[in-house]
Structure 1
Amino acid sequence: MSVSIDKRPKAIQLRRVFDHFEVDTIKIGKVRGDVLAIITDRLSQQHITRQVSGCNSQAVTMAIIRLL
């Protein structure tokens, strides 16, 4: 179940608390369909980026769990 970012709590939008993350993926590699999983902390704007083999939700979910 996804929730629109327009409906996030105001406390998160203020960016005053560490540990609120945004996650996005960017498709790379034409042949294998790999993606970059990008996790961004909203307060510090620091990014964690990892290449994920496979362009499916299970592979991306497992990569995010390992990163966090």
Structure 2
Amino acid sequence: RKGKPVLGLEIIRGMVRDGEEWNDGTILDPDNGKVYDCKLWVEGDKLKVRGYIAFFFRTQTWLPADL
């Protein structure tokens, strides 16, 4: 997975809807090839994406693409 082109690469998989959130999936970091547990939720027009291992996490805010 490391070094593969990002376009078309499945980076999020296995998510399960839990109310207003999606949990229990994984996310791939295409830069290093590592896979992390993942949680997703929406805040307004933004998608919050959290990758984590145990108590360590990083949250990113994803915005809609201009088409």
- Structure-1-length-normalised TM-score: 0.34
- Structure-2-length-normalised TM-score: 0.34
Larger radius of gyration: 1
